[in-house]
Amino acid sequence: MSAADVGMLRLQDAWRQACRHVHHMLHALRAVQPVLPLDAGRYTALDDEQVQDFDQFILRFSKLQDVIGAQLYPALLEFLQEPYSTRPMLDKLHRLEQLGYLGSVEDWQVLREVRDRFTHDYPDDAERNAASLNVATLAAVDLHACLARVGQQLAVDQPGLALEPLETF
C-alpha cells in the first residue's frame, strides 16, 4: 500500500468519524431546540431527558471539534502531500486556510474556545451555563460549515475521492 493510499484511508476514516458526530450532534440539537434560547430559569427547569439531550449535544460538539482538528485536518494535509506533519497546529491551520479548506484560522480558534467552555462546570451559575449552551448551539452551525467546506473543496480539488455525504444542518 502506497503512502498516498494510507493518506486517503486516514482522510476517509476521519471524515466518517466527523459525519457520525454531526449526525448525533444534529439529532441532539433538534431535541433541545424547543427550549432555546436558554436563560437561568429555563436551564434550572430542564428535565432529565432534556439534560441528557444537552449532554449528548455537548459531547458530540466537542468530539466533532476534536476529530476535525486532531484527525481530519492533519489527514487532509497528509493526503494533499503537504509537508506539515511535524509543524505546530497553527501552521497547519494557516496552510489549510491558504488552500481553501478552512475559512479562517480565527474562526476555528473561536470554535475551539466554545468547546473549551464545556471543560469547566459551574454548578451554582445557571446563567453562565445557559449562556455557554446558547453560544454552542449557535456555533454548531459554524462547526458544521467547517466540515462542509472541507467536503466542498475536496469535491473540487479531488473529484474522484469517495466520501460519504455530510448530513445537512
User: Domain range spanning residue 51?
Assistant: 3-157
Asked whether residue 162 is domain-assigned, the answer is no
Asked whether residue 79 is domain-assigned, the answer is yes
> Does pLDDT of 4 surpass 80?
no
Asked whether residue 26 is domain-assigned, the answer is yes
Tell me whether residue 55 is exposed, middle or buried, using C-beta atoms within 10 angstroms of its C-beta: 0 to 12, 13 to 18, 19 or more. Answer: exposed
Q: Where are the beta strands (DSSP E) in the chain?
A: none
Asked whether residue 165 is domain-assigned, the answer is no
Asked whether residue 139 is domain-assigned, the answer is yes
Q: Indicate if the alpha-carbon torsion angle 129, 109, 145, 62 is positive or negative.
A: negative
Quote the cell numbers at residue 78: 497528509
Which H or E element spans position 149?
A: helix 126-157
* pTM, 2 dp: 0.94
Q: How many domains does the chain have?
A: 1
List, for residues 124-169, the tens digit of each pLDDT value: 899 999 999 999 999 999 999 999 999 999 999 999 999 999 999 8
Q: What is the pLDDT of residue 20?
A: 98
> Does pLDDT of 1 surpass 80?
no
Asked whether residue 167 is domain-assigned, the answer is no
- In whole angstroms, give the CA distance from residue 48 to residue 54: 10
Q: Which of 25, 37, 31 is nearest to 132 (CA)?
A: 37
Asked whether residue 169 is domain-assigned, the answer is no
Asked whether residue 21 is domain-assigned, the answer is yes
Which letter, b or e, does each residue of 13-36 get, where b requires 16 or more Cβ atoms within 10 Å of its Cβ? ebbebbbbbbebbbebbebbeebe
CA distances to 11, 16, 123, 154 from 78, in Å? 8, 17, 42, 13
